[in-house]
Structures are given as structure tokens and as C-alpha cells.
Structure 1
Amino acid sequence: MISVLLLAFSGPNDPPAKCFRTNEFGDLPTCTYSGGEWVRSYPSSGFGPGPGGGGGFEGVFVLFFVVALVAGVAGTVWKVSTARRMARESGMSERDATAMSLLSDDGFEATYLASNLRGRPTTPIPAATPGRSTADRLRELDKLRAEGLVSDEEHETARRSILEEL
């Protein structure tokens, strides 16, 4: 009679003790009654060291997303700081260079091109003034080159211009 009672209570409503034991990672199993017996399985969380864990697809995706986000932010910071430096060195507006770098697809390249075309501000070469002799003008030009206010190329160009007026 007792064996009949035990058989009556060991059906699908009473899971066995193995359904309440954790695995080596501390995970509880999911038990299902299938084909007249209890089947134990451990769910995969996608994270952690347990079965099915270890990162998997979700972990790789999260890692890739974080790396892409950090690279994007670093690239933007570099573009803006470089555009501001180029604008500052060429006498252009740093605010406009920042806006162009952030708000347009080719803004960084446009800032680079504009800063190189514009170049650095130079000292104007003195123009011919009436009443000054050619010798005075050449002496003044030599003095400007000696002080570093006129480059060698500018000196040669201005010297030729003065001598062609003779």
C-alpha cells in the first residue's frame, strides 16, 4: 500500500531532488517533465563563467560597441583640437573651424585647406613712396630682412621690383 502511495506522488507534479541542486557555478536548473521523466537543464545567461556564459555573442557585441564608442569620441576630440590649432596658427576663427569640423562631412578637410591657403600673416613690403631714392629703398629693404621681418624670398621679389623701376 505504501508503494502505491509513493507512485501516486512521484508524477509530474513532484520534481525529484536533482531539480533543486545547483551546478558548480551556483546556477539552479530548469526541470521539465517530458516522456515520463524529469529532464534537468541549466539556462544560459550569456554572461559569466557558467555554461553558456563566458560572454558569447552578447559579450562580443557589448565589447565591440564600447570600443567603437571610445574610438568615435577620441576621433572627434582629435579633429576638433587639430582644426582649432590650424585656425589659430593661420589667423582664422577657431569657433568657425570647430563648427565646420563638427557640422559638415568635409569640414575638417576644408579647414585644413583654408589654413594652408591663407598661410601665416606676413609683414607687407614697403611700397615706393615719392621722394625716396632707390638706394634708400634698398637699404630699408635690407634692414627689414636683417630684422627678420621679411623672408629671403620676399626680399628678392621686392629688390627685383625696385630695380625694375629704374
Structure 2
Amino acid sequence: MISVLLAFSGPDDPPAKCFRTNANGDLPTCTYSGGEWTRSYPSGFGPSGAGGGGFEGLFVLLFVVAVVLGVAGTIWRVTTAQRMAREAGMSERDATAMTLLSDDGFEATYLASNLRGRPTTPIPAPTAGRSTADRLRELDKLRAEGLVSDEEHERARRAILEEL
């Protein structure tokens, strides 16, 4: 008897197929046209489609997060390599290129900057017109201002005194 009712259903009485969900759990939109009911499911776009949620939406979200983290990580690596190179007196441009263009570039920059150490302050060159006492006073002043380390001071002091 139900099949007889479905065969004679009209525009006010949709058939059971209009209330069945698809594999995604979406209800169809049923329309009555030309004496027949037709159903259609959402296209996947909009708030009720698969684009707004489910596995596809999660995949898109994870992809966006991975891209953002990758870009942020690259920016951090480049700026850190540039800082290490600058502090060691190396070329920042070369450190950037090594970090971006080689697999172990960041580690190589770290190793090179630590092996090279910090650049030393140049010891003032002797000038012919100044006395030895003036040169030693200037060297003491540079050490007091922190521009020359104790080792550099001692080395320069010996060099000045050897010229006597």
C-alpha cells in the first residue's frame, strides 16, 4: 500500500527519498516539477556543504597551519643566522644564503660563527709624532673604556715598549 501512495504522491506529499541522507549525512533538496519529485544534494560549498567542515576542512586547516609554521620557522632561522654572522664579523648575506640554500646551512653558520669568535678591536698603529708615554696613556684609556681587552692591552703595551 505504501508503494501505491508513493506512486500517487503530489506536490504537497514528498516521497521517502526526499528524507534520506547521503553518505556525508546531508539531507537533499527535493523539488516537484513535471509531475515528478527530484532530489539534489548540496554541492560542497557554503555552510551546509563539505567545504566548511569534516575531513576536508580539517585538512585545509592543517595545511594552513603547516605553511604558517614553515614560514615562521624560516624567518627565525634566517634572522638568527644573520645575527650570529654579524656578531662574529662574518657576512650576513652569506649566512642567509647558506641557511636558505643548503640542508645544513643554519648549523654551518652556527659552527663557523662560534669557531671564529668575536672580532677583536684593532690595536692602534704607532704614530711617529707621539711619545711612548702618550701612546701608553692612550692604550690605558682604551682599556678603561672597555674598547680593548686585557690581553690586547698587554700585547700592544709590549709592542710599544719593544720599539724603544
Instruction: Calculate the TM-score normalised by the size of structure 1.
Output: 0.57
| Partner residue, 2:86 | 88
Give the direction of change, closer, same or farther, for the CA distance of 1:127–1:42 in structure 2 (3 Å limit). closer
| Partner residue, 1:124 | 122
State the one-letter code of the partner of 1:28: P
Which sections of structure 1, spanning at least 5 residues, go unmatched?
1-6, 31-39
| Partner residue, 1:34 | none
> Which of 94, 97, 119 matches 2:95?
97
| Partner residue, 2:62 | 64
Shift of 1:96: 0.8
Give the direction of change, closer, same or farther, for the CA distance of 1:21–1:90 in structure 2 (3 Å limit). same
Checking the alignment, whether the CA contact within 8 Å between 2:123 and 2:156 is kept in structure 1 is yes
Shift of 1:90: 2.5
Q: Kindly, what percent of the aligned residue pairs are identical?
A: 74
Checking the alignment, whether the CA contact within 8 Å between 1:22 and 1:29 is kept in structure 2 is no
Shift of 1:149: 2.5
| Partner residue, 1:74 | 72
**Bigger Cα displacement from structure 2, 41-50 vs 146-155:** 41-50
Trace 1:8-157 onto structure 2 (pairs within 5 A). Answer: 10=7, 17-18=14-15, 19=17, 27-28=27-28, 45=44, 48=47, 55-125=53-123, 139=137, 141-156=139-154
In 1, Cα distance between equivalents of 2:51 and 2:160: 83
Give the secondary-structure state (helix, strand or coil) at the position aligned to 1:124.
Answer: coil
Give the direction of change, closer, same or farther, for the CA distance of 1:67–1:160 in structure 2 (3 Å limit). same
Instruction: Calculate the TM-score normalised by the size of structure 2.
Output: 0.57
State the one-letter code of the partner of 2:91: S
Q: CA RMSD in A?
A: 4.7
Give the secondary-structure state (helix, strand or coil) at the position aligned to 1:142.
Answer: helix
**Bigger Cα displacement from structure 2, 59-68 vs 115-124:** 115-124
State the one-letter code of the partner of 2:71: V
Checking the alignment, whether the CA contact within 8 Å between 2:51 and 2:57 is kept in structure 1 is no
Number of matched residues? Answer: 143
Shift of 1:98: 0.9
In 2, Cα distance between equivalents of 1:47 and 1:119: 59
